[in-house]
């Protein structure tokens, strides 16, 4: 890794950040311009009564925004967790989030709970606009992370390892429970459950998007703020503590931020895989392992990647007469892309600062 020793200069951060923003802007432009239906931009922007305007403003714009919000959260969380757990295979769902969220949503779908009113009456604002599955997914994700962290406490020196293992076991347990629910629910509900598990971007209202954006912004801000400390912690807990890093507290804060971010993402879009695993690794291969650079770049890159994948998911309707869940696209694109990059570099992906 030749780039590893490179100092983080302000101009480099700004340059890469600007490049990431440009990439995201291009992805966004493509996403609102293209879809299942050809639309005329002049009609969309000029005649608010036309169906072009409806498709542009009420469908594509919120969906692209949702892609940005969720993609940024997933990729930033993935980067942070890979560093925090010192494990290149860590992804946003590794701490039991996916299992808990999927269990919650599957329960809601199987029981036919549609609205928040049926689950938790009395919520207001953007929350009352959530669907039942989204709310239960959020609760399941949050609850499972808390459980995994509580269950793996008391292994201070091996904390990353214990949390990882507990998370993996919890996910396996949850997936068995989901299979049980699936076998017991009516066949017509199966399609919905499968679709949710595959992960897809839908059409959320402004208030919901606002809430989701606030949550992700706060979570990503915490990850960015602590990324310097995380660099030191990747050297090992003792070394970091010797350098004055409050290790336990930083770890708690970062776990909290990533869990909130992933729970927020999963609640709205189901389990979109690969974004949180692939994007951080690709960027790490390109720019080295400095978390201060990787976290913001991952947020931008993850957002662009997910938005573009969703364009493909929507355009695929023309070929299949069926909209594909975006999680299928991210996996189909992400896998080969990643392996190709790996071979070109001829090196294994690493999550740590030093071999």
Partner 1 sequence: MRVRLTPLLLLAALVFSGVAGAADAQPGPRWLGPKKPAKVQRVVTLAPSLSEMVIALGAGSSLVGVSRFDTDKSVEKLPRVGGFVDPSVEAVIALKPDVVLVQPGPGNQRPVERMAELGVPVLLLPLHTVADTLAALRAVGQALSRVQEADALVSRIEAIRSRIREAAKKLPTPRVLLAYGFEPLVVAGPGSFADELLRDAGAVNVAADAGSAYPVYSVERAVRAKPDVVVDAADVDVGKEKIQALPGLSAARWVEVPSFALLQPGPSLGKGLEELFGLLHPGVQVR
- State in angstroms the smallest separation of the CB of 46 from partner 1: 16
289, 351 contact by CB (below 8 A): yes
d(CA 51, CA 48): 8
Q: Buried b vs exposed e over 118-138: b needs ≥16 C-beta within 10 Å?
A: ebeeeeeebbbbbbbbbbbbb
Residues forming the site for partner 1 (CB under 8 A)? 35-37, 51, 54-55, 58-60, 109, 112-115, 131-133, 183-184, 186-189, 191-192, 194-195, 198, 200, 202-205, 314, 316-317, 319-325, 328, 332, 336
d(CA 148, CA 101): 13
Q: Does residue 163 sit in helix, strand or coil?
A: helix
- State in angstroms the smallest separation of the CB of 276 from partner 1: 20
Q: Which residue's CB is nearer to partner 1, number 87 or number 316?
A: 316
Q: Which residue's CB is nearer to partner 1, number 197 or number 279?
A: 197
275, 200 contact by CB (below 8 A): no
- State in angstroms the smallest separation of the CB of 144 from partner 1: 22
Q: Which residue's CB is nearer to partner 1, number 284 or number 314?
A: 314
Q: Which residue's CB is nearer to partner 1, number 192 or number 352?
A: 192
Q: Which residue's CB is nearer to partner 1, number 33 or number 350?
A: 33
Q: Name residue, tokens 């990503």.
A: 220
- State in angstroms the smallest separation of the CB of 272 from partner 1: 14
Q: Which residue's CB is nearer to partner 1, number 87 or number 115?
A: 115
Q: Does residue 170 sit in helix, strand or coil?
A: helix
- The count of other CB atoms within 10 Å of the CB of residue 77 is 38
Q: Which residue's CB is nearer to partner 1, number 86 or number 314?
A: 314
Least Cα distance to 86 among 141, 159, 144 occurs for 159
Structure-block tokens of residue 247: 């290790």
Residues 6+ apart with CB under 8 A from 191: none
- State in angstroms the smallest separation of the CB of 212 from partner 1: 15
- State in angstroms the smallest separation of the CB of 92 from partner 1: 22
Maximum Cα–Cα distance across the chain: 64
Q: Which residue's CB is nearer to partner 1, number 320 or number 343?
A: 320
CA-to-CA dists, residue 3 to 56, 59, 279, 285, 326, angstroms? 43, 42, 18, 10, 34
- State in angstroms the smallest separation of the CB of 338 from partner 1: 13
Burial bucket for residue 18 (CB in 10 Å: 0-12, 13-18, 19+): exposed
- State in angstroms the smallest separation of the CB of 164 from partner 1: 29
Helix axes 291-315, 206-225, angle to 10 degrees: 150
The DSSP annotation for 192-213 comes to: HHHHHHH-------HHHHHHHH
Q: Which residue's CB is nearer to partner 1, number 4 or number 58?
A: 58
- State in angstroms the smallest separation of the CB of 61 from partner 1: 12
């Amino acid at each position: 890794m030749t780039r590893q020793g490179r100092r983080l200069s302000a101009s480099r951060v700004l340059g890469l950040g600007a490049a990431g923003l440009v990439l995201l802007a291009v992805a966004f432009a493509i996403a609102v311009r293209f879809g299942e239906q050809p639309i005329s931009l002049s009609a969309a922007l000029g005649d608010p009564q036309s169906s072009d305007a409806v498709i542009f403003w009420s469908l594509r714009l919120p969906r692209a925004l949702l892609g940005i919000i969720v993609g940024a959260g997933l990729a930033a969380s993935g980067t942070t967790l890979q560093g925090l757990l010192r494990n290149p295979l860590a992804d946003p769902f590794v701490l039991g989030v996916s299992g808990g969220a999927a269990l919650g949503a599957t329960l809601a779908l199987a029981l036919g709970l549609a609205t928040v009113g049926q689950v938790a009456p009395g919520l207001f604002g953007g929350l009352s606009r959530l669907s039942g599955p989204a709310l239960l997914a959020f609760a399941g994700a949050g609850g499972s992370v808390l459980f995994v962290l509580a269950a793996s406490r008391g292994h201070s020196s091996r904390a990353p390892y214990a949390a990882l293992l507990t998370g993996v076991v919890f996910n396996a347990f949850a997936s068995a429970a989901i299979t049980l629910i699936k076998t017991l629910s009516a066949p017509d509900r199966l399609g919905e459950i499968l679709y949710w598990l595959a992960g897809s971007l839908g059409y959320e209202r402004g208030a919901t998007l606002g809430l989701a954006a606030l949550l992700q912004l706060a979570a990503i801000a915490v990850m960015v703020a602590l990324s310097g400390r995380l660099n030191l912690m990747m050297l090992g807990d003792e070394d970091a503590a010797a350098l004055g890093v409050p290790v336990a507290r930083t770890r708690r804060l970062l776990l909290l931020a990533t869990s909130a971010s992933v729970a927020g993402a999963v609640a709205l879009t189901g389990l979109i895989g690969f974004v949180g695993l692939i994007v951080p690794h690709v960027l790490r291969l390109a720019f080295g392992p400095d978390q201060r650079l990787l976290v913001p770049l991952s947020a931008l890159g993850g957002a662009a990647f997910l938005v573009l994948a969703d364009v493909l998911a929507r355009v695929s309707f023309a070929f299949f007469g069926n909209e594909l869940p975006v999680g299928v696209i991210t996996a189909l694109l992400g896998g080969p892309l990643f392996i190709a990059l790996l071979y070109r570099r001829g090196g294994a992906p690493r999550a740590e600062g030093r071999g």
